Chain A
Amino acid sequence: MKNKIILLVEDNPDDEALTLRAFKKNNITNEILVAHDGAEALDYLLGTGGSGHGIVEPQVVLLDLKLPKVDGLEVLRRIRAEERTRFLPVVILTSSKEDRDVIESYRLGCNSYVRKPVSFDEFLEAARSLGLYWLLLNQSPPK
């Protein structure tokens, strides 16, 4: 379980801090890589761009929709378009509850859609469920 990486795509430093805290609080000690915009996320996953760090193969991607440079839906589309990352579990983690966002995300092939609650207590609960499910219960496709 240790070698299973989580890729968190989050531009808001507050949310980033709270998310990381929520995982820590829930004793999820896996390596969490943070991409601060869509371009960086694609760089991690597909090796596009010249940030220098190598391509990672995370256990799950937690993807915000509203992102600088390349937005979340575009990132999702390109993940699904790439043969290597076609089956990569992607969980949308966002503030929006708009129907069109939910529908568009599922249409592009997200695996889950989770709305960030305002209450940190609820957020903790969400983080716990996510970690439990995606890192322990869920069986990833074979590499």
Chain B
Amino acid sequence: MQTVKFRLWRAELLRPSALIFLPLLLIVTVVMLLLYRIQMDAARTVLHASEKQVLDLATHSVTTGLDGVRSDISYLANNGVVQRWLASNEPARRNQVEQEFAAFAAHKELYEQIRLLDLGGREVVRVNWQTGRPLAVPQRALQDESGRDYVRASSALARGEIYVSPFGLNVEHGVIEQPPKPVIRFGMPVYDNHGHKRGILVLNYRGQRLVGQIKAIAAQAGGQLWLLDANGYWLLGPDPQSEWAFMYPGRSDRRFDVAYPDAWTSIQQGPVRGQFLAGGGLYTYVRLAPHTLLRMTGPAKVPDWVLVAHVGTSMLAAKARNIARNLGIAFSVLLLLVAAISWAIAYQNLSRKQAETSMRTSEARFRAVAETANDAVITADRHGNIVYFNRAAEGIFGYTSDEAVKQPLTVLMPERFRRDHKEGLQRFLATGEARVVGKTVELAGRRKDGVEFPMELSLATWKIGDEAYFTGLVRDITRRRQAEGHIRQLNEDMRVRAVELEAVNKELEAFSYSVSHDLRAPLRAIDGFSQVLLEDHAARLDAEGRGHLERVRAAAQRMGLLIDDLIKLSQVTRGEVLMQEVDLSELAAGITSELRAREPQRQVELTIEAGLRARGDARLLRIALENLFSNAWKFTQGRDPAHIVFGHTQHNGLPAYFVQDDGVGFDAAYADKLFGVFQRLHDAREFPGTGIGLATVQRVIHKHGGHIWVQSASGKGATFYFML
């Protein structure tokens, strides 16, 4: 099994993970967009509702306020103290009215002024609210208000009707009071007990109170709440500079209808209350008619106010941005999550694919190897049942793969091994003790036809998970066994032959010893007693008889030489070669000086090249050179002077030594016969010899792994070359 190493980052993951990521991204995007829309809708709905609620609250506040004013003014106009004063017109009664008004003002804290005017428009009683307490204005400080609109309008009213002035800032002596005091004047005619109209009651309502309540509501709701008059002027607006613009010269264009003309048109043309989106934002409005609020019937005498809850574009956009931002964060997080998931899935897929590929590859490789192997490859599971049987196994065991698979391994073994096999398998699985696993052993196999054959088994074990498997390589070694048997036989034969040869050698040695010793004794006797005959019994022999005896003696002596040469030859053949550095020149000099000493009368000119050295057996080389020089010596007999040369030349790049003479030589046609035993090319009477010398020389050279040859012609001398 091959292990696959995984890295987290890999370029090949980009594509598959993108294929997973992109659809997921699409889904997430669509969901997010939907969510955005839903949230926006919900936010809008909530906003609309809350704006309406804010507006309702403000409306309620205004209504309640005005309703209070209505009941206050009615109460004061019909007050008993006022009625009694009207009936008696006593100054004390007037003081009571003044006290009543002051108490009322202190109790309510709602009114800047509470005044009673006569029908001529002159102030009769006046209580001011000043620095947090009521203050009655003395009679001499009372003013004539007959020219004022509210006086005229109020005087004209029928019983129970109420005049409402436009919302304005308080003006004292022609100057707008600072800080600005918003004020609404309410007027009501006062009737006496007889039903005669006697004057008018005027309340200066502290508009600041109303405005403050609306502001408080707006502040609590967090939006803008505006109060407009019928002309589009802000009474409560986005900033103080824009408020009450109609009171100030040069500010007439600071109006709602100028700033938001579309919205103003929608408000004017729409129902009493409504909500719409227009340029500048969301508008929720209600047109308030003070006339109606004061529960008065008849035609309206006071223009409508408009209460507008406004949410600006920027605020709407900010809300949308907020939602978008929240969703954006969620989207980013989801995006990362989706990317990570895509990557993980792609990674898993790739890992699995690679593992599968690697497994398939190794399996394919195994099969390719196993199917082409010459050895049987057999795999078995932990129960010893065959799970794989390759082609070579089919050939070796005679079962087809289909026949063999699922069979127990024991079918491939002779009976006598089966028990050991089962025990070995059990032991291995139980203890892990392996006697065969991991080794190569020689066993016997059993073919389908029952024939046994020798085989070599190499067994390996491996695991997939917890399952153990065994794979055996089996080689049919029948031929090897045969070859081994053959080699053993050959070795045995050779040993026997060596022993025989040893015996033969021994025998030969004994033989040659016996020859040298025992054959010579009779020869000596023949020669010796022939001599005795010649000496002691010469008188009884004639000349011919004596001649015969001489021949007997010569023959005996010649046989002695033959025996000696044969012994020498056999010694050369039998002896071991002891290689050492040999000075051939020195050897030649020694031999030739012996020859010269033996025949001092011979005139021989010797030329010996100095310093010729070779590796060889000194004893054997001496025998060879002795023979070559004594031949040269012998066959130059009769030359005066004779010439013998010992030297060296090159033959095929290697040194070749030679012994050259200018003797009788021989016919080159017989050169190949020269080295045979007992071969002689000359008459024995002229050149005595045994014909064994050159055979001995050749053996010496051959023993050195060398080579000897000769060049000669009749009467032209001879040259013997040898290489070692």
A94/B517 in contact, CB under 8 A: yes
Q: Within 8 Å of chain A (Cβ to Cβ): is B260?
A: no
- Option from A17, A95, A119 in Cβ contact (under 8 Å) with B557: A119
A118/B524 in contact, CB under 8 A: yes
- Option from B516, B523, B527, B557 in Cβ contact (under 8 Å) with A97: B516
Inter-chain CA distance A133–B132, complex, in Å, is: 186
Q: Which residues on the A side are within 8 Å of B560 (C-beta)? A: 117-119
Which A78-96 residues sit within 8 Å CB-CB of chain B?
94-96
Residue-by-residue, is A80-123 near B (CB-CB < 8 Å gives 1, otherwise 0)?
00000000000000111111000000000000000011111101
Q: Within 8 Å of chain B (Cβ to Cβ): is A18?
A: yes
Inter-chain CA distance A65–B521, complex, in Å, is: 13
Inter-chain CA distance A117–B521, complex, in Å, is: 9
Q: What is the size category of the interface that chain B forms with chain A?
A: 20 to 34
Q: Within 8 Å of chain B (Cβ to Cβ): is A4?
A: no
Residue of A17, A95, A117 most packed against chain B (CB within 10 A): A95
- Option from A14, A95, A97 in Cβ contact (under 8 Å) with B528: A14
A96 with B524: in contact, given A21-B532, A118-B560 (CB under 8 Å)?
no
Inter-chain CA distance A117–B528, complex, in Å, is: 10
Number of A-B contacts (CB under 8 A): 64
Which B481-517 residues sit within 8 Å CB-CB of chain A?
513, 516-517
A15/B521 in contact, CB under 8 A: yes
Residue-by-residue, is A109-143 near B (CB-CB < 8 Å gives 1, otherwise 0)?
00000001111110100000000000000000000
Residue-by-residue, is B236-268 near A (CB-CB < 8 Å gives 1, otherwise 0)?
000000000000000000000000000000000
Q: Which residues on the A side are within 8 Å of B516 (C-beta)? A: 95-98
Q: Within 8 Å of chain B (Cβ to Cβ): is A12?
A: yes
A15 with B525: in contact, given A95-B517, A95-B518, A98-B516 (CB under 8 Å)?
yes
Q: Which residues on the A side are within 8 Å of B518 (C-beta)? A: 66, 95
A15 with B517: in contact, given A118-B557, A118-B560, A119-B557 (CB under 8 Å)?
no
B513/A98 in contact, CB under 8 A: yes
A97/B524 in contact, CB under 8 A: no
- For A11, give the chain B residue with the smallest CB separation: B521
Q: Which residues on the A side are within 8 Å of B556 (C-beta)? A: 118
Inter-chain CA distance A29–B521, complex, in Å, is: 25
A14/B525 in contact, CB under 8 A: yes
B524/A14 in contact, CB under 8 A: yes
- For A14, give the chain B residue with the smallest CB separation: B525
Which B544-567 residues sit within 8 Å CB-CB of chain A?
553, 556-557, 559-560, 564, 567
- For B561, give the chain A residue with the smallest CB separation: A118
Q: Which residues on the A side are within 8 Å of B523 (C-beta)? A: 118
Closest 9 CB pairs between A and B?
A: A118-B560, A14-B525, A18-B528, A120-B528, A120-B531, A95-B520, A95-B517, A118-B523, A96-B517
Given A15-B521, A15-B525: 4 more A-B contacts, CB < 8 Å: A17-B528, A18-B525, A119-B553, A120-B528
